[in-house]
Amino acid sequence: MNRGPVDSAQVPRFAGPATFARLPRLDEVGRADVAVVGVPFDSGVSYRPGARFGPAAVREASRLLRPYHPGLDVSPFERVQVADAGDIAANPFDIAQAIESIEEAADAIDARLVTIGGDHTIALPLLRSVARRHGPVAVLHFDAHLDTWDTYFGAEYTHGTPFRRAVEEGVVDTEALSHVGIRGPLYGRKDLEEDRRLGFGILTAADVLYRGVREVTDVLRRRVGDRPLYVSIDIDVLDPAHAPGTGTPEAGGLTSRELLEILRGLAGCRIVGADVVEVAPAYDHADITSIAASHVAYDLVSLLALSQTPSDQSREMS
């Protein structure tokens, strides 16, 4: 029998340790099918810092989450064992060493991960780890920005470069890469040309508005097919009205409702890992961003629970 969250009828939601959704720690249950892990690292940002405090803020906001997800008709904490694996310590003064530490720590956790960042630099080591288990993966990347630039100030590893590096390293399936929510000014038309060359399809924030959630979801599902899928969500995919607490906000983004409904449309896909990044609580107002991110993470946990097959569970339990 799986161990779930603390009973809010016995312990008030504002009391007790702030694990994600008040779930048990991984060391308390010994094993997990899905683990939520934090990476408090933001040394790769190009504008406003502060995402190193994102994991703690999202966990705090997640106290109000409840164990049944009506939108997906699943009780994820009953279906599979979900646990909070704590934080991965990453060197804030050495990006290369931090990436190595994140990759090693992800490899060591024998569960499918929902990772809370931290800045988007962390997607690269997480993709390396997932690819080691599943081969090159399909990627759905929700973001205001492409994150496929080559370098910043000559640096190859930043929050604006992880998906170019992932393509170059062969850890992603270039037949099944998609950006969702892209908007705002670019450095030039060449940014889009380079992105297409790398294999990405783009669904802009305007596409979500004019084509609608259902059509966008259908396009994404067709592109992904039955491949193992990694979902990476920069919270700035949301409009600043829905997520002010982030490092590089852009006007004209998705609503939190649109993002959650697109995610729910992925039910049945072979999701093998996910992240939610760039929550910077210092710029948040009334915890709007942290609350949105906690619900996004909950939907990702629920999708991973739905995608877990009996063979997956028996393998991970052995």
Per the annotation, binding residues for Mn(2+) are 120, 143, 145, 147, 234, 236
Nearby residues of 190 by Cβ (< 8 Å), 6 or more positions away: none
Residue 224 tokens, joined: 């992904």
Q: Name which of 203, 296, 207, 202 is nearest 243 in CA terms.
A: 296
Sheet architecture: strand order including 82-87? 82-87, 34-39, 112-117, 270-277, 228-234, 137-142, 172-182, 200-204
Give the annotated binding-site residues: 120, 143, 145, 147, 234, 236
Q: Do the beta carbons of residue 298 and residue 116 sit within 8 Å?
A: no
> What SS3 state is found at 177?
strand
Q: What residue type is 273 in one-letter code?
A: G
CA distances from 36 to 24, 26, 81, 189, 300 (A): 11, 9, 11, 38, 10
C-alpha–C-alpha distance, residues 122 and 166, integer Å = 11
Q: Do the beta carbons of residue 280 and residue 53 sit within 8 Å?
A: yes
Residue 44 tokens, joined: 């790769």
What kind and span of H or E run contains 249? none
CA 219 to chain centre: 20
- Tell me how crowded residue 8 is: count the other CB atoms within 10 A of its CB: 16
C-alpha–C-alpha distance, residues 85 and 90, integer Å = 15
**225 preceded by a cis bond (ω within 30 of 0):** no
